[in-house]
């Protein structure tokens, strides 16, 4: 859990994304959201960044809509609950390598993108984020446009392992500041 998710020295994810961008989009035109269907690896990397980044570890206050039994505990209708999204995003029964950055979590054996029920960075149910569709579109376009034009690496003398992915505590997981270099492709 100590390397950047798109660092070529860690899992070659960046190189695979660069190759997919070159094959599908090229360097001359900007990415379009429709490109996502032809770019399963890039889509998987964006999803894994969201899962692994775990920006909102706990959800907003909800309540049970009916009497519920959860792990042997009775929760009467109307009981306030705060879902912990972290418990799903890092659940060992849902993810092959929950504490490692692994775009393969979202790919089948043939390399096609696969939706996962345990992927809940925007919450779930009626109170899921209303901006989820827009956010997913913007994340894909922004990420793809950046990697279409740049290759990212740590500053000279700093190893990617030294950058880390620990976050600052709070309602959301805020990334710690660090320097990163962008070289034009």
DSSP E strand boundaries for the chain:
62-63, 68-70, 73-75, 80-81, 150-153, 167-168, 174-175, 181-184
Is pLDDT larger for residue 179 or for residue 115? 115
Give residue 164's pLDDT band: very low, low, confident or very high (50, 70, 90).
Answer: confident
pLDDT > 90 fraction of the chain, expressed in percent and rounded: 58
Domain boundaries, the chain: 8-184
Q: What architecture is domain 8-184?
A: Orthogonal Bundle (1.10)
| Most confidently modeled range among 33-42, 86-95, 127-136 | 33-42
pLDDT > 70 fraction of the chain, expressed in percent and rounded: 94
Q: What pLDDT score does 4 carry?
A: 38
Residues flagged as binding site for heme: 129
Model confidence pLDDT, tens digit, residues 105-115: 999 999 999 99
Q: What pLDDT score does 29 carry?
A: 96
Q: What pLDDT score does 75 carry?
A: 95
Residues flagged as binding site: 129
Which residues have CB under 8 Å from 113's CB, separation 6+? Answer: 40, 43, 44, 106, 107
Compute the CA torsion angle 117, 119, 124, 125 (nearest 10 deg): -20
* pTM of structure: 0.84
């Amino acid at each position: 859990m100590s390397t950047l998710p798109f660092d070529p020295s860690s899992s070659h994810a960046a190189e695979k994304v660069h190759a997919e961008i070159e094959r599908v989009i090229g360097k001359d035109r900007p990415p379009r959201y429709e490109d996502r269907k032809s770019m399963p690896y890039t889509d998987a990397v964006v999803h894994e960044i969201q899962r692994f980044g775990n920006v909102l570890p706990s959800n907003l206050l909800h309540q049970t809509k009916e009497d519920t039994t959860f792990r042997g505990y009775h929760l009467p209708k109307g009981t306030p609950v705060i879902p912990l999204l972290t418990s799903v995003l890092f659940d060992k029964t849902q993810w092959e390598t929950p504490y490692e950055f692994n775009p393969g979590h979202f790919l089948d054996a043939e390399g096609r993108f696969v939706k996962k029920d345990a992927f809940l960075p925007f919450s779930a149910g009626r109170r899921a984020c209303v901006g989820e569709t827009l956010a997913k579109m913007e994340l894909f376009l922004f990420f793809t446009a950046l990697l279409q034009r740049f290759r990212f690496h740590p500053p000279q003398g700093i190893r990617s392992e030294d950058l880390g992915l620990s976050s600052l505590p709070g309602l959301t997981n805020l990334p710690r500041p660090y320097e990163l270099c962008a070289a034009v492709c």
